[in-house]
Amino acid sequence: MIRRLVESVPNISEGCDHKVISKLAAGIDAVQQVVLLDVHFDPDHHRSVFTIVGEPEAMGKALFGLVRDAPQLIDIRQHQGEHPRIGVVDVVPWIPLEGVTMEDCVNSANNLGSRIGQELEIPVYLYEQAGKVPGREKLEIVRQGGLPALANRMKIDQDWQPDYGPSIIHPTSGAIVVGARFFLIAFNVVLQSNDLTMAHQIAQSIRTSNGGLPSLKALSVPLTSRKLVQVSMNLTDFRETSLRQAFEAVKREAKRYQIEILESEIVGLVPKAAWDKTLAHDLKLRPLKSDPVIEERLAQSSFM
Protein backbone atom coordinates (compact mmCIF):
# COMPACT_ATOMS: atom_id res chain seq x y z
CA MET A 1 0.00 0.00 0.00
CA ILE A 2 1.13 3.55 -0.75
CA ARG A 3 1.77 5.58 2.36
CA ARG A 4 -0.35 8.70 2.70
CA LEU A 5 1.65 11.34 4.56
CA VAL A 6 1.31 15.05 5.13
CA GLU A 7 3.58 17.51 6.84
CA SER A 8 2.49 20.40 9.03
CA VAL A 9 4.57 23.09 10.70
CA PRO A 10 2.26 24.92 13.12
CA ASN A 11 3.66 28.16 14.53
CA ILE A 12 2.95 28.72 18.21
CA SER A 13 3.25 32.09 19.94
CA GLU A 14 5.57 30.91 22.71
CA GLY A 15 9.35 30.77 22.48
CA CYS A 16 10.51 31.24 26.06
CA ASP A 17 8.70 28.87 28.41
CA HIS A 18 10.16 25.40 27.86
CA LYS A 19 7.51 23.78 30.08
CA VAL A 20 4.69 25.09 27.90
CA ILE A 21 6.45 23.99 24.72
CA SER A 22 7.11 20.53 26.20
CA LYS A 23 3.46 20.10 27.23
CA LEU A 24 2.25 20.96 23.74
CA ALA A 25 4.84 18.66 22.19
CA ALA A 26 3.69 15.84 24.48
CA GLY A 27 0.14 16.29 23.22
CA ILE A 28 1.34 15.77 19.65
CA ASP A 29 3.41 12.74 20.63
CA ALA A 30 0.36 11.13 22.24
CA VAL A 31 -1.47 10.87 18.89
CA GLN A 32 -0.86 7.65 17.00
CA GLN A 33 0.16 7.75 13.31
CA VAL A 34 1.86 11.13 13.66
CA VAL A 35 5.43 11.91 14.61
CA LEU A 36 6.89 15.16 15.92
CA LEU A 37 10.22 15.40 14.07
CA ASP A 38 11.48 18.77 15.26
CA VAL A 39 10.76 21.61 17.67
CA HIS A 40 12.41 24.97 17.06
CA PHE A 41 11.90 27.83 19.50
CA ASP A 42 13.36 31.30 19.76
CA PRO A 43 12.99 33.77 22.65
CA ASP A 44 13.47 36.91 20.53
CA HIS A 45 10.90 35.85 17.93
CA HIS A 46 8.92 34.43 20.91
CA ARG A 47 7.71 31.66 18.64
CA SER A 48 7.97 27.89 18.34
CA VAL A 49 7.72 25.87 15.15
CA PHE A 50 6.72 22.20 15.33
CA THR A 51 7.51 19.94 12.37
CA ILE A 52 4.98 17.10 12.29
CA VAL A 53 4.45 14.28 9.80
CA GLY A 54 1.59 11.81 9.77
CA GLU A 55 -1.40 10.28 8.09
CA PRO A 56 -3.99 12.93 7.16
CA GLU A 57 -6.73 11.79 9.54
CA ALA A 58 -4.34 11.50 12.47
CA MET A 59 -2.80 14.85 11.59
CA GLY A 60 -6.21 16.47 11.79
CA LYS A 61 -6.68 15.04 15.28
CA ALA A 62 -3.23 16.17 16.42
CA LEU A 63 -3.58 19.69 15.05
CA PHE A 64 -7.05 20.20 16.48
CA GLY A 65 -5.77 19.07 19.86
CA LEU A 66 -2.90 21.55 19.64
CA VAL A 67 -5.22 24.46 18.78
CA ARG A 68 -7.58 23.40 21.60
CA ASP A 69 -4.90 22.96 24.26
CA ALA A 70 -2.49 25.83 23.53
CA PRO A 71 -4.80 28.64 24.79
CA GLN A 72 -4.99 26.88 28.16
CA LEU A 73 -1.26 27.60 28.52
CA ILE A 74 -0.80 30.78 26.43
CA ASP A 75 -2.77 34.04 26.41
CA ILE A 76 -2.36 36.07 23.22
CA ARG A 77 -3.13 39.25 25.20
CA GLN A 78 0.11 38.77 27.16
CA HIS A 79 2.28 37.91 24.16
CA GLN A 80 5.08 40.15 22.93
CA GLY A 81 7.61 39.06 20.33
CA GLU A 82 9.40 40.18 17.20
CA HIS A 83 7.72 37.75 14.81
CA PRO A 84 4.36 38.74 13.26
CA ARG A 85 1.42 36.76 14.65
CA ILE A 86 -2.34 36.95 15.10
CA GLY A 87 -3.00 33.99 17.36
CA VAL A 88 -1.78 31.59 20.02
CA VAL A 89 -1.50 28.93 17.32
CA ASP A 90 -0.80 31.41 14.58
CA VAL A 91 -0.62 29.42 11.36
CA VAL A 92 -1.24 25.77 10.44
CA PRO A 93 -0.23 24.67 6.93
CA TRP A 94 -0.96 21.31 5.32
CA ILE A 95 1.82 20.13 2.98
CA PRO A 96 1.58 17.03 0.77
CA LEU A 97 4.47 14.65 1.41
CA GLU A 98 3.68 11.13 0.13
CA GLY A 99 0.62 9.73 -1.64
CA VAL A 100 -1.38 12.91 -0.98
CA THR A 101 -2.31 15.69 -3.41
CA MET A 102 -2.55 19.41 -2.86
CA GLU A 103 -6.31 19.07 -3.33
CA ASP A 104 -6.35 16.56 -0.47
CA CYS A 105 -4.53 19.09 1.71
CA VAL A 106 -6.98 21.85 0.74
CA ASN A 107 -9.85 19.58 1.85
CA SER A 108 -8.03 18.78 5.11
CA ALA A 109 -7.42 22.49 5.76
CA ASN A 110 -11.11 23.21 5.28
CA ASN A 111 -12.15 20.35 7.55
CA LEU A 112 -9.79 21.51 10.29
CA GLY A 113 -10.75 25.16 9.88
CA SER A 114 -14.45 24.35 10.07
CA ARG A 115 -13.98 22.36 13.24
CA ILE A 116 -11.82 25.04 14.89
CA GLY A 117 -14.35 27.73 14.04
CA GLN A 118 -17.36 25.77 15.19
CA GLU A 119 -16.08 23.96 18.27
CA LEU A 120 -13.44 26.39 19.58
CA GLU A 121 -15.05 29.64 18.35
CA ILE A 122 -11.78 30.95 16.94
CA PRO A 123 -11.98 32.95 13.68
CA VAL A 124 -10.22 31.04 10.90
CA TYR A 125 -8.69 32.47 7.74
CA LEU A 126 -7.70 30.17 4.89
CA TYR A 127 -4.51 30.90 2.96
CA GLU A 128 -2.36 29.86 0.00
CA GLN A 129 -3.92 27.01 -2.02
CA ALA A 130 -6.86 26.78 0.40
CA GLY A 131 -7.62 30.50 0.20
CA LYS A 132 -11.13 31.39 -0.93
CA VAL A 133 -11.20 35.18 -0.90
CA PRO A 134 -9.16 36.94 -3.62
CA GLY A 135 -6.58 39.30 -2.18
CA ARG A 136 -6.03 37.59 1.13
CA GLU A 137 -4.42 34.28 0.13
CA LYS A 138 -1.01 35.38 1.44
CA LEU A 139 -0.17 34.94 5.10
CA GLU A 140 1.47 38.35 5.38
CA ILE A 141 -1.73 40.01 4.15
CA VAL A 142 -3.81 38.39 6.89
CA ARG A 143 -1.18 39.27 9.51
CA GLN A 144 -0.76 42.85 8.27
CA GLY A 145 -0.93 45.26 11.19
CA GLY A 146 -1.18 42.45 13.70
CA LEU A 147 -4.19 41.30 15.66
CA PRO A 148 -5.65 44.78 16.39
CA ALA A 149 -5.68 45.65 12.68
CA LEU A 150 -7.27 42.32 11.80
CA ALA A 151 -9.94 42.85 14.46
CA ASN A 152 -10.72 46.26 12.96
CA ARG A 153 -10.92 44.92 9.40
CA MET A 154 -13.23 42.21 10.65
CA LYS A 155 -15.56 44.86 12.12
CA ILE A 156 -15.75 47.26 9.20
CA ASP A 157 -15.10 45.25 6.03
CA GLN A 158 -17.39 42.50 4.78
CA ASP A 159 -14.51 41.12 2.71
CA TRP A 160 -12.64 40.38 5.95
CA GLN A 161 -15.18 38.11 7.57
CA PRO A 162 -13.43 34.85 8.54
CA ASP A 163 -13.82 31.74 6.43
CA TYR A 164 -14.92 29.83 9.53
CA GLY A 165 -15.86 30.76 13.06
CA PRO A 166 -17.21 33.96 14.63
CA SER A 167 -16.57 37.45 13.29
CA ILE A 168 -14.90 38.50 16.49
CA ILE A 169 -11.41 37.87 17.86
CA HIS A 170 -11.26 35.13 20.49
CA PRO A 171 -10.29 36.82 23.78
CA THR A 172 -7.34 34.55 24.61
CA SER A 173 -6.64 32.64 21.38
CA GLY A 174 -6.84 35.53 18.89
CA ALA A 175 -7.33 34.20 15.36
CA ILE A 176 -5.72 31.49 13.25
CA VAL A 177 -4.63 30.99 9.64
CA VAL A 178 -5.02 27.50 8.15
CA GLY A 179 -4.04 26.50 4.64
CA ALA A 180 -2.36 24.22 2.14
CA ARG A 181 0.93 24.97 0.41
CA PHE A 182 4.20 23.73 -1.07
CA PHE A 183 7.29 23.25 1.11
CA LEU A 184 8.50 26.47 2.70
CA ILE A 185 12.00 26.90 4.12
CA ALA A 186 12.39 29.36 6.98
CA PHE A 187 15.98 30.63 6.92
CA ASN A 188 17.57 33.28 9.15
CA VAL A 189 20.90 35.04 8.63
CA VAL A 190 22.46 36.75 11.65
CA LEU A 191 24.58 39.83 10.96
CA GLN A 192 27.57 41.00 12.99
CA SER A 193 25.75 44.23 13.67
CA ASN A 194 23.01 45.73 15.81
CA ASP A 195 21.95 48.17 13.07
CA LEU A 196 18.29 47.32 12.44
CA THR A 197 17.97 49.98 9.72
CA MET A 198 20.67 48.30 7.65
CA ALA A 199 19.11 44.89 8.18
CA HIS A 200 15.78 46.31 7.04
CA GLN A 201 17.34 47.73 3.89
CA ILE A 202 18.99 44.38 3.12
CA ALA A 203 15.69 42.55 3.60
CA GLN A 204 13.89 45.04 1.37
CA SER A 205 16.41 44.74 -1.43
CA ILE A 206 16.34 40.93 -1.70
CA ARG A 207 12.64 40.10 -1.33
CA THR A 208 10.33 39.38 -4.22
CA SER A 209 7.91 42.21 -3.44
CA ASN A 210 10.66 44.77 -4.02
CA GLY A 211 11.99 43.21 -7.21
CA GLY A 212 14.50 40.91 -5.56
CA LEU A 213 14.79 37.15 -5.77
CA PRO A 214 11.71 35.12 -6.76
CA SER A 215 9.72 33.25 -4.11
CA LEU A 216 11.51 35.01 -1.26
CA LYS A 217 10.00 36.88 1.67
CA ALA A 218 12.32 38.76 4.03
CA LEU A 219 12.14 41.02 7.04
CA SER A 220 14.54 42.40 9.63
CA VAL A 221 14.42 41.22 13.23
CA PRO A 222 16.31 42.59 16.26
CA LEU A 223 17.84 39.82 18.40
CA THR A 224 17.61 41.78 21.63
CA SER A 225 19.05 39.01 23.80
CA ARG A 226 22.20 38.91 21.64
CA LYS A 227 22.46 42.61 20.71
CA LEU A 228 22.47 41.62 17.03
CA VAL A 229 20.12 41.84 14.04
CA GLN A 230 18.85 39.18 11.69
CA VAL A 231 17.47 38.94 8.17
CA SER A 232 14.60 36.48 8.53
CA MET A 233 13.51 34.83 5.29
CA ASN A 234 10.89 32.47 3.93
CA LEU A 235 11.80 30.60 0.75
CA THR A 236 8.36 29.78 -0.58
CA ASP A 237 9.71 27.73 -3.48
CA PHE A 238 13.29 26.49 -3.15
CA ARG A 239 13.21 25.46 -6.80
CA GLU A 240 13.16 29.14 -7.73
CA THR A 241 15.42 30.51 -4.99
CA SER A 242 17.71 28.10 -3.17
CA LEU A 243 19.21 28.42 0.29
CA ARG A 244 22.56 29.19 -1.27
CA GLN A 245 21.12 31.93 -3.48
CA ALA A 246 19.30 33.52 -0.52
CA PHE A 247 22.45 33.46 1.60
CA GLU A 248 24.59 34.93 -1.16
CA ALA A 249 22.05 37.71 -1.70
CA VAL A 250 22.21 38.70 1.97
CA LYS A 251 26.01 38.43 1.92
CA ARG A 252 26.25 40.65 -1.16
CA GLU A 253 23.96 43.34 0.25
CA ALA A 254 25.60 43.21 3.68
CA LYS A 255 29.00 43.77 2.07
CA ARG A 256 27.71 47.06 0.63
CA TYR A 257 27.27 48.24 4.23
CA GLN A 258 30.56 46.68 5.36
CA ILE A 259 28.69 44.20 7.54
CA GLU A 260 29.83 40.59 7.97
CA ILE A 261 27.61 37.54 8.44
CA LEU A 262 27.99 35.85 11.81
CA GLU A 263 25.94 32.71 11.18
CA SER A 264 22.69 31.38 9.77
CA GLU A 265 20.02 28.93 10.88
CA ILE A 266 17.25 26.87 9.38
CA VAL A 267 13.97 26.90 11.27
CA GLY A 268 12.58 23.37 11.23
CA LEU A 269 13.55 20.94 8.47
CA VAL A 270 14.15 21.05 4.72
CA PRO A 271 13.21 18.69 1.88
CA LYS A 272 15.97 16.44 0.56
CA ALA A 273 15.81 18.17 -2.83
CA ALA A 274 16.76 21.49 -1.22
CA TRP A 275 19.83 20.19 0.63
CA ASP A 276 23.44 19.27 -0.08
CA LYS A 277 26.20 18.38 2.36
CA THR A 278 28.28 21.48 1.67
CA LEU A 279 25.51 23.87 2.73
CA ALA A 280 26.26 23.64 6.45
CA HIS A 281 29.74 25.04 5.81
CA ASP A 282 28.95 27.41 2.98
CA LEU A 283 25.99 29.02 4.77
CA LYS A 284 27.78 29.34 8.12
CA LEU A 285 24.96 27.33 9.63
CA ARG A 286 24.76 27.14 13.39
CA PRO A 287 25.99 23.66 14.41
CA LEU A 288 23.32 21.09 13.61
CA LYS A 289 22.27 18.74 16.40
CA SER A 290 20.69 16.29 13.98
CA ASP A 291 19.96 15.78 10.30
CA PRO A 292 18.04 18.78 8.89
CA VAL A 293 16.44 16.80 6.05
CA ILE A 294 12.82 15.84 6.61
CA GLU A 295 13.02 12.53 4.72
CA GLU A 296 16.12 11.47 6.68
CA ARG A 297 14.62 12.50 10.02
CA LEU A 298 11.48 10.57 9.18
CA ALA A 299 13.50 7.47 8.30
CA GLN A 300 15.35 7.74 11.60
CA SER A 301 12.13 8.04 13.59
CA SER A 302 9.98 5.24 14.97
CA PHE A 303 7.16 6.17 12.60
CA MET A 304 5.90 3.21 10.54
One digit per residue, the tens of pLDDT, for the chain of length 304 reads 789 999 999 999 999 999 999 999 999 999 999 999 999 998 888 899 999 999 999 999 999 999 999 999 999 988 887 778 899 999 999 999 999 999 999 999 999 999 999 999 999 999 999 999 999 999 999 999 999 999 999 999 999 999 999 999 999 999 999 999 999 999 999 999 999 999 999 999 999 999 999 999 999 999 999 999 999 999 999 999 999 999 999 999 999 999 999 999 999 999 999 999 899 999 999 988 889 999 999 999 977 6
Rounded CA-CA distance 22/131 in Å is: 32
The predicted structure's pLDDT at residue 82: 73
The per-residue b/e assignment along 193-222, b for 16 or more CB within 10 angstroms, e otherwise, is bebbebbbebbbbbbeeeebbebbbbbbbb
Q: What is the per-residue DSSP string for 174-226?
A: B-EEEEE-S--EEEEEEES---HHHHHHHHHHHSGGGT-STTEEEEEEEEGGG
pLDDT value at residue 173 = 96
Domains along the chain with CATH numbers:
5-180 (3.30.990.10), 185-289 (3.30.70.670)
CA dist 294 and 157 (Å) reads 41
pTM (two decimals) = 0.94
Q: What is the pLDDT of residue 304?
A: 62
What pLDDT score does 260 carry?
A: 97
* CB-side neighbour CA atoms (13 Å) of 291: 15
Q: Is 170 a catalytic residue?
A: no
Question: Which residue in the list 45, 83, 200, 281 is annotated as catalytic?
Answer: 83
Helix, strand and coil percent figures for the chain, each rounded to 5: 40, 25, 35
pLDDT for the residue numbered 75: 94
**Count helices and strands in the chain by DSSP H and E runs:** 9, 11
